[in-house]
């Protein structure tokens, strides 16, 4: 009984590490392709998935809230959905970003 419980816990920890690694790889690829520096990233779980709702999200897709710095020095926030609709993050590198309208230059930031 204890062995089964330990095995289940180990499997859950292993899968959560795999999911985190795969999600980070997709985000890094997206940032590199778009010339974006990621300042922070937070995984959002149901029901807090911003503009991506249950009707448009599919199993295995990850939704994150990002704070980024663009090429021109502006800092913005966006929602980023990773993975495709059929295989989630496991079978696709697709990303979809929805940007917030709160861009600030480094000089404009409050202290």
Where do the domains of the chain lie?
2-108
- What is the spatial distance between Cα 77 and Cα 69, in angstroms, rounded to a whole number? 9
Is the preceding peptide bond at 47 cis, omega within 30 degrees of 0?
A: yes
Handedness of CA 103, 66, 64, 46 (dihedral sign): negative
- pLDDT at 110 > cutoff 50: no
In the prediction, which pLDDT does 33 show?
93
In the prediction, which pLDDT does 38 show?
94
- pLDDT at 75 > cutoff 60: yes
User: CB of 75 within 8 A of CB of 109?
Assistant: yes
The pLDDT tens digits for 6-43 are 888 888 888 888 888 999 999 999 999 999 999 999 88
Q: pTM for this structure?
A: 0.77
In the prediction, which pLDDT does 102 show?
63
Quote the tokens at residue 19.
């999911």
In the prediction, which pLDDT does 109 show?
43
Which contiguous run of DSSP H or E holds residue 2?
A: helix 2-34
The pLDDT tens digits for 82-107 are 988 888 888 888 899 999 876 554 44
């Amino acid at each position: 009984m204890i062995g089964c419980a330990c095995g289940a816990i180990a499997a859950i920890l292993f899968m959560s590490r795999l999911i985190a690694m795969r999600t980070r790889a997709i985000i890094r690829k997206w940032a590199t392709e778009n010339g974006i520096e990621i300042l922070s990233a937070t995984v959002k779980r149901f029901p807090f998935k911003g503009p991506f709702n249950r009707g448009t999200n599919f199993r295995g897709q990850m939704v994150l809230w990002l704070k980024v710095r663009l090429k021109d020095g502006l800092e913005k926030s966006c929602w980023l959905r990773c993975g495709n609709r059929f295989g989630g993050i496991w079978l696709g590198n697709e990303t979809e970003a929805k940007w917030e309208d709160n861009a600030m230059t480094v000089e404009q930031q409050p202290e």
